[in-house]
């Protein structure tokens, strides 16, 4: 018996990296999982197959561009068709387009907002509608320590992730009396495909800024998401949990 037996979780950007770790963790706790992906259909379907075989849960991989409201609407319709309900939404899909502000184009700024910020907004809106009817739900969004403290060369990314914090706290106030919690996880430096491309020198320099002495793993983030998704966490809402090894201290 898992903490999430019989519930259905929708995870955007759930085929790879942090999203994949979140999907696996929720499935291991008994949740049926709907895995949204943008272009990586093979990774999403592999993750779905893995969860179905290892944990015996229902799975579904759904392509949708979270920057498009109509795609997110279709995503929710397909997700609800799996079991008739969605109790957990994890807004994980996100991109970067880093550059110093003097070199950052309008297009790069807009593209990051559309996926990271608008995508989260569209998901929150549809989840709120569904969960209000259920009088139960968990909405968990991925922010970043960059959204809390800023980072040179990431004005667009920081703006999107700071916006997620503001939306999380505001929606938490709207939903608290209806049995729905709204929280965010703010990862620090996590071992993903993106950080794997860094040089060894850059890795060591970054790790030197982290009191824990190491980068985090996708599984570290998945554990935090599972905490917020737990029915036992019903009195925790409007919170932003930094999972960063003490980097932001």
DSSP string covering the chain, please? --TTTT-EEEETT-SSHHHHHHHHHHHHTT-EEEEEESS-HHHHHHHHHHHHHHH---EEEEE--TTSHHHHHHHHHHHHHHHS---EEEE---------GGG--HHHHHHHIIIIIIHHHHHHHHHHHHHHHHT-EEEEEE--HHHHH--TT-HHHHHHHHHHHHHHHHHHHHHGGGTEEEEEEEE-SB-SHHHHTS-HHHHHHHHTT-TTSS-B-HHHHHHHHHHHHSGGGTT--S-EEEESTTTT-
Catalytic residue among 37, 118, 122, 157: 157
Is 157 part of the annotated catalytic residue set?
yes
Catalytically active residues are 157
């Amino acid at each position: 018996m898992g903490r999430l037996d019989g519930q259905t979780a929708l995870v955007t950007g759930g085929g790879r990296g942090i999203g994949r770790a979140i999907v696996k963790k929720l499935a291991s706790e008994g949740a049926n999982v709907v895995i949204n992906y943008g272009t990586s259909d093979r990774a999403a379907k592999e993750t779905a197959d893995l969860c179905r075989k290892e944990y015996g849960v229902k799975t579904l991989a759904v392509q949708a561009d979270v920057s498009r409201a109509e795609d997110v609407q279709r995503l929710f319709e397909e997700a609800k068709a799996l079991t008739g309900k969605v109790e957990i939404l994890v807004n994980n899909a996100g991109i970067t387009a880093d550059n110093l502000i003097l070199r950052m184009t309008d297009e790069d700024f807009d593209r990051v907002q559309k996926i990271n910020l608008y995508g989260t907004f569209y998901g929150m809106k549809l989840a709120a509608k569904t969960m209000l009817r259920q009088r139960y739900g968990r909405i968990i969004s991925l922010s970043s320590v960059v959204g809390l403290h800023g980072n040179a060369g990431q004005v667009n990314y920081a703006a999107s992730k700071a916006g997620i914090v503001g939306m999380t706290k505001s929606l938490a106030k709207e939903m608290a009396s209806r049995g729905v919690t709204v929280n965010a996880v703010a990862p620090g430096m996590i071992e993903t495909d993106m950080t794997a491309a860094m040089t060894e020198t850059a890795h060591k320099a970054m790790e030197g800024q982290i009191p824990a002495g190491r980068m985090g793993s996708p599984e570290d983030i998945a554990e935090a998401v599972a905490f917020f998704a737990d029915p036992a966490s019903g009195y925790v809402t409007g919170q932003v949990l930094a999972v960063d090894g003490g980097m932001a201290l």
